[in-house]
Amino acid sequence: MLTASSDNQLRWLSITLFGLVVALSLLPCLRLLSEALSHWDRGLDAPLLSILQNPRTWVALQNSLYTSGLGTLISVVLGSGFAFVLTLTNIRYRALWIFCFMLPMMIPPQVTALSWLQLFGPASPILNTLGIAPALGSPQPMYSAEGIALLLGIQHAPLVFLALRSQLICLPKDLIEAAQLSGASQWRLWIDMIVPLSRNAIFAGAAIAFVSALGNFGIPAMLGIPAGYSVLPTLIYQQMAGFGNDVLSEVASLSMLIAFLVLIGMLLQQWIQQRSSYSLIGHSAQPASFRLGKWRIPTQILLCAVLCLILIAPLAALMISSVVPALGVPLTADTFTFAAYNEMVNNQGSTARAFTNSLLLASLAALLLMIITLPLGYRLMRLSLKARAVIASLIEVPYAIPGIVLAIAFILLFSRPIPIINVTLYGTLTLIFLAYLSCFLSVCLKPVMSALSQLDPALEEAAQIAGATPIQRLINIVLPLISPAVFAGGLLVFLIAVNELTVSALLWSAGNETLGVLIFNLDESGDSILASAISVLVVVLVASLMALLSLLAPRLPKGVIPWHC
């Protein structure tokens, strides 16, 4: 039985936590919607109607659908190919292949774009080193719609991989073995059983990849803006750089257009996932395993070749670009230099400031979200399934919508001084910090919820009978048991936030740059060598954090670390 004191504790805990969820998730979205639908008294001159009548909007929409659609096709080919091979065959070094394939998704999109820009074109240091660079004056092939689509496809292929892999793991090994005993060839098994059972998972992964590509800002900005090729996120960015009384209303309207498309994609993905739930007899809880035999070595060579093309070669180009004096200069013993790193460490105040800001924001966001998600997840697990689903969906919204849309929502919400205390947050690190909390709350919450769902309720029931209050049970029983999951959630937030660009691209101001913004600005201003040096350090940081999470993975609930087998 709950005492009056315990009941009071639960009530105030619930009010505080759910009030925080409303403030971080619901208010920014409502403010964005109200601004987009404002000024209807102007008739055809209302901002929303003006945006819909502007030809640039429809050109950007068409470009967004083309690059996202083509990128999704590339993601499906790459992601499904790797998922089938790494999940269903006896390939060697499975964990290493998965880690390497997941790495492009964790590398910031602006770093991905910069590395590919250094890989191709007449100014490519690596091509000049090899003596195969195209003639001066040749166009940069990455400055094109197809270049954008290629990188979007590579960046989001791991999303298709994860969606399909989770379905393939659940395939009934016993059923497949029965078909093999009946004389079915491996080819017939793939065509008649595996592909039909995993088809909906492929479609769900494709929907996630399409939605992610639609909201991606870093790649279209670095490859599209120099070529005059606009998609919806870059059009919003360029509109914000302009002036006018209705600029916020217009970008809010554009943001709602992206949010509407993303919502359709999310609903489609959820509908497909529901249809992909099978109830199969004979599930052995172990994935099927096809023996490659003489094809194992050629398959491993093929996987290595693909990873070299999409990961190793661009990163090698990035590293070479960071140790030459200028673009277009081949790497030799005479041209090798650490000047860019020396400039970054000793002479660039903005670099040190950006590192400090990013590390501070990412660390504080990770720490605070770890503190918040423990009691939040604890309370959510005690709600009815319906109430839990509603609140979880509300928490998911800021992470699901494109970051640039979330940034516009926070600009609208905090462009004026906060009532009563009369404090202005616009243009400060605090505003970026609040946006990070809103965006990454669901990232930190998922591992916590996964761990809580696997706890034995008998432990808490025994403590409750002994008179422990909910707060005491949370601190003394629940926290020690799920602390690895809480830490993993915080580390995932730090990993994503430290390199974030899409949200901070519109929220930063002079002196408040983040790493993602700095790399983007340096490349835009023509200082690609310094941008490459910073990007190399960012990649090292990302890979190190992923390795740390992999070491922690054996102590975590299954599925917390996406790339862990």
- DSSP class of 92: S
CATH topology of domain 1-43+338-565: MetI-like fold (1.10.3720)
Please write the tens of the pLDDT for every residue from 456-495: 777 777 777 777 777 777 777 777 777 877 887 888 888 8
> Averaging pLDDT over each range in 292-296, 356-360, 411-415, 521-525, which range is the top one?
356-360
Which range among 307-311, 320-324, 346-350 shows the weakest confidence by mean pLDDT? 346-350
For residue 329, report the phi and psi dihedrals to the nearest 5 degrees. Answer: -90, 125
Dihedral of CA 374/376/381/385: which sign? negative
**Which residue in 503, 483, 499, 379 sits closest to 438, CA to CA?**
503
SS (H, E, C) 318-358: HHHHHCCCCCCCCCCCCCCCCHHHHHHHHHCHHHHHHHHHH
Which range among 92-106, 258-272, 304-318, 518-532 shows the weakest confidence by mean pLDDT? 258-272
How far is 250 from 262, CA to CA, in rounded Å? Answer: 19
> For a pLDDT cut of 70, what percent of the chain falls above it?
88
Counting other chains too, the contacts that 377-386 makes at CB distance below 8 Å and 24 or more residues apart are 377/445, 377/448, 377/449, 377/452, 378/452, 378/474, 378/478, 379/10, 379/13, 379/14, 379/17, 379/18, 380/449, 381/449, 381/452, 381/453
pLDDT at 558 over 70: no
Which residue ranges make up each domain of the chain? 1-43+338-565, 62-231+267-331
Residue 196 sits at the vertex; the CA angle it makes with 192 and 202, to the nearest 5 degrees, is: 140
How far is 203 from 245, CA to CA, in rounded Å? Answer: 43
Neighbours of 431 (CB within 10 A): 24
Give the CATH class of 62-231+267-331.
mainly alpha
pLDDT at 112 over 60: yes
Contact criterion met (CB below 8 Å) for 69 and 274: no
Helix (H, G, I), strand (E, B) or coil at 199: helix
pLDDT at 57 over 50: yes
> For a pLDDT cut of 90, what percent of the chain falls above it?
9
How far is 92 from 148, CA to CA, in rounded Å? Answer: 33
Residue 441 sits at the vertex; the CA angle it makes with 24 and 18, to the nearest 5 degrees, is: 50
**Residue 69: its pLDDT value, please?**
93
- DSSP class of 133: P
Counting other chains too, the contacts that 272-277 makes at CB distance below 8 Å and 24 or more residues apart are 272/200, 272/203, 272/204, 272/207, 273/200, 273/201, 273/204, 275/200, 276/167, 276/200, 276/201, 276/204
How far is 318 from 115, CA to CA, in rounded Å? Answer: 5
**Residue 283: its pLDDT value, please?**
44
Asked whether the domain spanning 62-231+267-331 has the same topology as the one spanning 1-43+338-565, the reply is yes
For residue 513, report the phi and psi dihedrals to the nearest 5 degrees. Answer: -70, 150
**Residue 73: its pLDDT value, please?**
95
**Which residue in 315, 288, 271, 280 sits closest to 107, CA to CA?**
315
Neighbours of 380 (CB within 10 A): 23
How far is 369 from 488, CA to CA, in rounded Å? Answer: 12
**Residue 307: its pLDDT value, please?**
92
pLDDT at 541 over 90: no
Neighbours of 446 (CB within 10 A): 22
> Averaging pLDDT over each range in 216-230, 513-527, 546-560, which range is the top one?
216-230
**Which residue in 399, 409, 435 sits closest to 251, CA to CA?**
409
Across the chain, mean pLDDT equals 80
Q: What is the pTM of this model?
A: 0.83
Q: Higher confidence at residue 411 or residue 401?
A: 411
Please write the tens of the pLDDT for every residue from 171-181: 766 667 677 67
**Please, is 351 exposed, middle or buried when counting C-beta atoms within 10 Å of its C-beta (0-12, 13-18, 19+)?**
buried
Confidence of residue 410 (pLDDT cuts 50, 70, 90): confident
**Residue 281: its pLDDT value, please?**
45
**Which residue in 245, 95, 237, 219 sits closest to 561, CA to CA?**
95
**Residue 285: its pLDDT value, please?**
45
**Containing H/E element for 496?**
helix 479-497
Compute the average pLDDT of residues 17-46. Answer: 77
- DSSP class of 192: I
Give percent helix, percent strand, percent coil of the chain, each to the nearest 5. Answer: 75, 0, 25
**Residue 275: its pLDDT value, please?**
61
**Residue 88: its pLDDT value, please?**
82
pLDDT at 428 over 60: yes
Counting other chains too, the contacts that 339-344 makes at CB distance below 8 Å and 24 or more residues apart are 340/529, 340/530, 340/532, 340/533, 341/533, 343/530, 343/533, 344/530, 344/533, 344/534
Confidence of residue 282 (pLDDT cuts 50, 70, 90): very low
Confidence of residue 6 (pLDDT cuts 50, 70, 90): low
Question: Which pair of structure tokens corresponds to residue 562?
Answer: 């996406």
Dihedral of CA 327/331/336/338: which sign? positive
Alpha helices, DSSP H, located in 107-217: 109-119, 125-130, 145-169, 173-181, 186-189, 195-215
Q: Higher confidence at residue 282 or residue 158?
A: 158
Helix (H, G, I), strand (E, B) or coil at 499: coil
- Spatial neighbors of 130 by CB under 8 A, at least 6 apart, are none
**Residue 141: its pLDDT value, please?**
86
pLDDT at 43 over 80: no
Q: How many residues does the chain have?
A: 565
**Containing H/E element for 273?**
helix 247-275
Question: Which pair of structure tokens corresponds to residue 215?
Answer: 């909201």
